[in-house]
Amino acid sequence: MAVLAMLVPTVVPGTATAQNQDDRLDEIEEEIDQAENQIGEIDAQVDISLEELDRILADLQDLQEELNARTAELQLAESELADRERVLVATTTELDQTAERLDATRTTLDTQQATYEARVRQSYITARPDQTLRVFSSSDVAQFTQASRYVEAIVERDRADFEQIDVLRRQIEADEAELERLRSQQASDRSAAESERNRVADLVAQQASLVAQVEARAADKQAVLSGLEADRDSAEALIANLQAESDQIEAELRAAAEAAAARAAAEAAAAAAQASSGSSGSSGSSSSPAPAVSGSGRFIYPVNGRISSNYGYRVHPISGARRLHAGMDIAAGTGTPIGAAGNGTVIYAGWRGGYGNCIMIDHGGGIVTLYAHQSSLATSVGQSVSTGQTIGYVGSTGYSTGPHLHWEVRVNGSPVDPRGYV
Local mean pLDDT, 10-residue blocks, the chain (422 residues): 35 47 66 74 80 84 85 84 78 78 81 76 62 54 64 72 80 84 82 84 87 88 84 78 68 71 82 69 35 60 93 65 81 96 95 90 93 96 96 92 92 90 94
Give the angle subtended at the CA of 167 by the CAs of 161 and 170, to the nearest 5°: 145
Length of the chain: 422
pLDDT tens digit sequence for 266-282: 888 888 888 776 554 43
CA distance 326 to 342: 19
Local structure of 204: helix, strand or coil: helix
For 354-365, letters b (16+ CB in 10 Å) and e give bbbbbbbbbbbb
The pLDDT score that the predictor gives to residue 1 is 34
Residue 218: which region, alpha, beta or left (left: phi > 0; alpha: psi -120 to 50)? alpha
CA 224, 230, 233, 239 dihedral sign is negative
| Residue partners of 250: CB distance under 8 A and separation at least 6 | 3, 5, 25, 413, 414
CA distance 220 to 230: 15
The pLDDT score that the predictor gives to residue 131 is 54
User: Residue 355 in contact with residue 406, Cβ under 8 Å?
Assistant: yes
CA distance 258 to 251: 11
Task: Kindly list the distances between the CA atom of residue 397 and the CA atoms of 174, 181, 317, 330, 403, in Å, as whole numbers in the listed order.
Answer: 104, 94, 15, 15, 8
Give the angle subtended at the CA of 303 by the CAs of 292 and 291, to the nearest 5°: 5
Pairing state of beta strands 322-325 and 376-377?
Answer: unpaired
The pLDDT score that the predictor gives to residue 8 is 33
Kind plus residue range of the DSSP H or E element containing 221: helix 141-278
Residue type, 172: I
The pLDDT score that the predictor gives to residue 26 is 64
Residue type, 355: Y
Would you list the DSSP string of 136-203?
HH---HHHHHHHHHHHHHHHHHHHHHHHHHHHHHHHHHHHHHHHHHHHHHHHHHHHHHHHHHHHHHHH
The pLDDT score that the predictor gives to residue 367 is 92
pTM score, whole prediction? 0.39
Binning the chain into helix, strand and coil, the percentages to the nearest 5 are 65, 15, 25
CA distance 9 to 380: 14
CA distance 356 to 401: 12
Would you list the DSSP string of 266-289?
HHHHHHHHHHHHHSSS-------P
